[in-house]
Structure 1
Amino acid sequence: MTNEEKPKPKMGFTIIKNDPTDGHKGFGIGSLSLENVSPVIIDVAEETATVEIGAMHAKSDVERGIKFTMNREDSAGGKDYWLVWVTIDHKEDGAYFAGVAACEMVVNREKRRGYKILADHVNKMDKSMKRNILVDHMDARSKGILATFLQSHNEDMWNRSEQKLHEDLA
């Protein structure tokens, strides 16, 4: 795929809206609202980061058509990706990146195999929703891609974010 054929990257953090119980007290009570969580996929080789809402249900463009296992050797020779759960919250002076947690993925398109640990992805999404910053296990290059993406998405939100996020992505 040439640069001219590449689709234009989507920059918006899409939010899954509304209270899952819709105000009633019956079915669905106690369900989690994913209202402020967005998945960002980092392609390490291409040095790109995009919001990919399909990743909420493991149906992002990267994950489609791939059988994932917990055995890294199944996807040997594949591309490295990070799925980063970004939670947005509000302070008095505006929105900010409150929780950021990264999960590793490897995808080998030729073999149609990939490596990821689903439980880790779910746990990291939960940690992000609880306003934790978990990016210290990422490589320096990927941290830089994520930091650049968050800053360029909304510099005001980046500036209002906790100092720990700035330090951990430095």
Structure 2
Amino acid sequence: MQKLNLTGTSKHQTDDQMKGLSAVFLDGDEVFIDNGAIHAKSRLEVGVKFVDDQSAVPDARHIQGLWITLKRQENGLGYAGAMPFDLWIDDSTKMGYKKLSEQVNQMDKAVRGQVDVQGLPREVVNKLGAHLQKIRPDLWENASDSFRQAFSS
């Protein structure tokens, strides 16, 4: 397939910035990565109609998301950015609520290497951190100091 260079450049900067971006979800006790979230097509979001008013989905469950990014560090590729976001989804009505602008802003901050998990409950931070450390110990070892510090107990 031929690549269309609609921007007039041989490489689009956003593609390069997004290569190291992933989304980690904590849904109940399950922690998983779903890169479909980058384009609002995670397994949680597909088939869900999102509304602008959270009160329209009163029986929704809260799902914690975390944008994480990778960056080449001194010793190799490692975790660099981490910014949280929220989803509320009611499976019975296939309706949900999310603050899209906040999600995009948090994604941008993660891409820029910012780490801020202070607003999350410690147990959530611990679960997400343990999962990231377990799935790729090499990325954890090469993580930025700010990333590891944010997830240390």
TM-score interval, smaller chain: 0.7 to 0.9
Q: Deviations over 1:102-149 (max 9, x none)?
A: 101111111221110000111111000100002111122221221111
Q: Deviations over 1:8-58 (max 9, x none)?
A: xxxxxxxxxxxx95xx97168764121111122221x1x222111211111
Q: Distance in 2 between matches of 1:136 and 1:114?
A: 25
1:55 to 37, 40, 43: 37
Letter in 1 for 2:113: R
Cα RMSD over matched residues?
2.4
Query: Are the aligned partners of 2:73 and 2:144 in contact in 1 as well (CA < 8 Å)?
Result: no
Letter in 1 for 2:118: D
Alignment partner, residue 166 of structure 1: 148
| Greater relative contact order structure (CA < 8 Å, 6+ sep) | 2
Q: Distance in 1 between matches of 2:64 and 2:9?
A: 35
Closer, same or farther in 2 for the Cα pair 1:90/1:31, shift >3 Å?
closer
Q: Distance in 2 between matches of 1:119 and 1:143?
A: 23
Q: Distance in 2 between matches of 1:103 and 1:85?
A: 8
Alignment partner, residue 64 of structure 2: 82
Q: CA deviation at 1:69?
A: 2.2
Unmatched runs of 5 consecutive residues or more in structure 1: 1-19
Alignment partner, residue 35 of structure 1: 19
Alignment partner, residue 84 of structure 2: 102
Range with bigger deviation, 135-144 or 25-34: 25-34
Letter in 2 for 1:109: D
Q: Distance in 2 between matches of 1:65 and 1:28?
A: 35
The ranges of structure 1 where at least 4 consecutive aligned residues each deviate by more than 3 angstroms after the TM superposition are 27-31
Q: CA deviation at 1:61?
A: 1.1
2:50 to 68, 77, 81: 68
State the identity %.
24
Q: Distance in 2 between matches of 1:66 and 1:144?
A: 29
Structure with more helix by fraction: 2
2:131 to 130, 133, 149: 149
